[in-house]
């Protein structure tokens, strides 16, 4: 949801958001399966349903955080403006660490972690993602 918000905040539009959600789902599927999740669960309401909702709903705190970051605001300013708990900030670090330990490639999630915690600019993250070598989707 943070990545989708960043994309929207940068002005990329609905097609980019849809591509990001699709690629994000592939990342979540890879990690989930390695950790023992069933694909059917991830493709249901608790997986793809929640992903679509949080990536597109204007009330989603993580999407709103991404929008602010994409518009050039800092994490501190965005957090203060939203004024609510932003679970995705900590979750990004946890996912980054778990994926690293499980040796699961998650470029979108990794870049969200780097934007939030390592100072990577949203535009630089987009440039990196777009310059990646094409690979098999699954």
Residue 57 is predicted with a pLDDT of 97
Q: Give the pLDDT band (50/70/90) at residue 134.
A: confident
Residue 79 has pLDDT above 70, yes or no: yes
Q: Where do the structural domains in the chain lie, given as residue ranges?
A: 2-130
Q: Do residues 106 and 30 make contact, with C-beta atoms less than 8 angstroms apart?
A: yes
Q: What percent of the chain has pLDDT over 70?
A: 99
Distance (Å, whole) CA 105 – CA 99:
7
pTM of the model: 0.92
Q: Tell me the mean pLDDT in the region 54-72.
A: 97
Q: What residues contact 117, with CB distance under 8 A and at least 6 apart?
A: 92, 93
Residue 137 is predicted with a pLDDT of 64
Distance (Å, whole) CA 124 – CA 27:
20
Residue 138 is predicted with a pLDDT of 61
Residue 60 is predicted with a pLDDT of 97
Angle at 104 between CA 101 and CA 42, to 5 degrees: 115
Q: Give the pLDDT band (50/70/90) at residue 119.
A: very high
DSSP code per residue over 8-54: HHTT--HHHHHHHHHHHHHHHHHHHHHTT--HHHHTSIIIIIHHHHH
Residue 65 has pLDDT above 80, yes or no: yes
The CATH number given to 2-130 is: 1.10.1040.10
Going through 42-114 in order, the beta strands assigned E by DSSP cover: none
**Could you give the 3-state DSSP secondary structure of residue 115?**
helix
Q: Give the pLDDT band (50/70/90) at residue 74.
A: very high
Q: Tell me the mean pLDDT in the region 80-105.
A: 97
């Amino acid at each position: 949801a943070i990545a989708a918000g960043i994309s929207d905040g940068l002005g990329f539009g609905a097609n980019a958001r849809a591509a990001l959600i699709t690629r994000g789902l592939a990342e979540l599927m890879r990690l989930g399966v390695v950790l023992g999740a069933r694909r059917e669960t991830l493709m249901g309401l608790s997986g793809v349903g929640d992903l679509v909702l949080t990536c597109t709903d204007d009330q989603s705190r993580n999407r709103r955080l991404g929008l602010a970051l994409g518009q050039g605001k800092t994490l501190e300013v965005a957090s203060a403006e939203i004024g609510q708990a932003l679970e995705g900030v900590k979750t990004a670090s946890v996912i980054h660490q778990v994926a690293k330990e499980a040796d699961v490639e998650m470029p979108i999630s990794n870049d969200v972690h780097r934007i939030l915690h390592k100072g990577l600019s949203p535009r630089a993250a987009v440039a990196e993602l777009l310059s990646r070598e094409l690979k098999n989707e699954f």
